[in-house]
């Protein structure tokens, strides 16, 4: 079968040459194991961090070893009581077209409830990140103003839609005209700002948020966040979800001194990693699935085709090639 390995560690922005596709033989399948065929592969910004040789909450990928990530697979052969051929499962699996895993590493999904791919997005890691970051840290109240950066992406589009469900004034920041249109027409945001064509983002936020910003869901960091924080309200909450604007920098730039805004306005800023909410995932999935079923929450995906295009899809996240959840269908 084919696999994609990390060939070298990137400096700055990764390139496709940092990956290599190669053929490997599959071993025999043992008791307690299942043979899977990959259907959908998730590409996520956090994978960039794992390409570095640096300790973080997820260990680094190893050179010449397959990349691992969220994958939906179909059971082809089973030596497990837990999984039957034909079952569809999700797990953290290698970038291989076919692969053998221990039965306990795979979680069965109900593909009749929602399309299988949703379990990598809106009903999976990114949907849960939006739900817990916004509801448990951002704690929006009806009538408040919620700003989200990376707004047209997998997490951001869900954050904005949940904030609308909560009765908030919702403003999104994204990187193209097409995306800001989508935020308003498809996802129901009240206002959207294109950071690539807006000269003064601080002023654009002030105009879009006449009552200031009560919750800032930060997916990107850098200058966009500086501009939002310039408009932050007393007792605002800032769920610190991602800093994609900084993932490819070799030196972290110094932002404005935050003391006048965060300190004097009693702002709460809290970083989080979605895994910390694991014990409550069921609560999150139930809310998300209910809203999807009621048509209040739209699942939006960008699906690239072909296993061999996984590196290209991953790199595309840093160029803004996706709207909603970026996936590869093998």
Binding site for ligand NDP (CB under 6 A): 44-46, 125-126, 129, 150, 152-156, 174-176, 179, 219-220, 224, 241-245, 272-274, 317-318, 320, 322, 326
Q: Which is nearer to ligand NDP, 214 or 301 (CB)?
A: 301
Q: How far is the CB of 304 from ligand NDP (least distance, A)?
A: 13
Q: Contact, 240 vs 276, CB < 8 A?
A: no
Q: How far is the CB of 24 from ligand NDP (least distance, A)?
A: 28
- Cα dihedral value 75, 78, 80, 83, nearest 10: 30
Q: Contact, 61 vs 10, CB < 8 A?
A: no
Q: How far is the CB of 175 from ligand NDP (least distance, A)?
A: 3
Q: Which is nearer to ligand NDP, 142 or 279 (CB)?
A: 279
Show the beta-strand stretches assigned E in the chain: 2-6, 19-23, 33-42, 68-78, 88-94, 98-102, 107-108, 145-149, 169-174, 191-194, 213-217, 232-240, 268-271, 301-305, 325-329
Which residues lie closer than 8 Å to 176 by C-beta, 6 or more apart?
194, 196, 320
Q: Which is nearer to ligand NDP, 175 or 311 (CB)?
A: 175
Q: Which is nearer to ligand NDP, 100 or 151 (CB)?
A: 151
Q: Which is nearer to ligand NDP, 100 or 148 (CB)?
A: 148
Q: How far is the CB of 83 from ligand NDP (least distance, A)?
A: 27
Q: Which is nearer to ligand NDP, 73 or 242 (CB)?
A: 242
Q: How far is the CB of 234 from ligand NDP (least distance, A)?
A: 26
The DSSP call for residue 133 is: I
3-state SS, residue 302: strand
Q: How far is the CB of 236 from ligand NDP (least distance, A)?
A: 19
Q: How far is the CB of 318 from ligand NDP (least distance, A)?
A: 5
Residue 223 burial (CB < 10 Å; 0-12/13-18/19+)? middle
Q: How far is the CB of 179 from ligand NDP (least distance, A)?
A: 6
Q: Which tokens in the block code for residue 123?
A: 């009903």
Q: Contact, 63 vs 56, CB < 8 A?
A: no
Q: Which is nearer to ligand NDP, 3 or 161 (CB)?
A: 161
Q: Which is nearer to ligand NDP, 106 or 244 (CB)?
A: 244
Chain centroid to Cα 128, Å, comes to 9
Q: Which tokens in the block code for residue 37?
A: 């065929």
Q: Which of 280, 209, 272 is nearest to 243 (CA)?
A: 272
């Amino acid at each position: 079968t084919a696999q994609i390995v990390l060939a070298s560690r990137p400096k700055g922005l990764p390139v496709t040459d940092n990956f290599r596709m190669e053929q490997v033989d599959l071993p025999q399948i043992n008791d307690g194991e299942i043979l899977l065929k990959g259907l959908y592969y998730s590409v996520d910004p956090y994978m960039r961090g794992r390409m570095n040789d640096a300790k973080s909450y997820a260990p680094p990928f190893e050179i010449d070893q397959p990349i691992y990530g969220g994958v939906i697979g179909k059971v082809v052969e089973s030596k497990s009581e837990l999984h039957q051929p034909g079952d569809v499962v999700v797990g953290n699996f290698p970038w291989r077209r076919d692969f053998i895993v221990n039965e306990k590493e795979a979680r069965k999904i109900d593909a009749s409830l929602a399309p299988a791919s949703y379990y990598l997005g809106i009903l999976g890691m990114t949907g849960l990140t939006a739900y817990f970051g916004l509801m448990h840290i951002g704690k929006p109240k009806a009538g408040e103003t919620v700003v989200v950066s990376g707004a047209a992406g997998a997490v951001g589009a869900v954050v904005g839609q949940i904030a609308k469900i909560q009765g908030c004034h919702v403003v999104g920041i994204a990187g193209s005209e097409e995306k800001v249109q989508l935020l308003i027409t498809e996802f129901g945001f009240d206002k959207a700002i294109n950071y690539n064509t807006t000269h003064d983002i601080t002023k654009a936020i002030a105009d879009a948020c006449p009552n200031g910003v009560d919750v800032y869901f930060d997916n990107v960091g850098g200058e966009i966040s500086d501009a939002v924080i310039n408009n932050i309200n007393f007792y605002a909450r800032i769920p610190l979800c991602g800093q994609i604007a900084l993932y490819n920098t070799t030196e972290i730039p110094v932002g404005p001194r935050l003391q006048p805004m965060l300190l004097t306005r009693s702002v709460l800023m809290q970083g989080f990693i979605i895994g910390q909410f694991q014990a409550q995932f069921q609560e999150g999935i139930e809310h998300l699935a209910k809203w999807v079923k009621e048509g209040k929450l739209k699942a939006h995906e960008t699906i690239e085709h072909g296993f061999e295009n996984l590196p290209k899809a991953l790199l595309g996240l840093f160029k803004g090639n996706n709207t909603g959840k970026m996936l590869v269908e093998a």
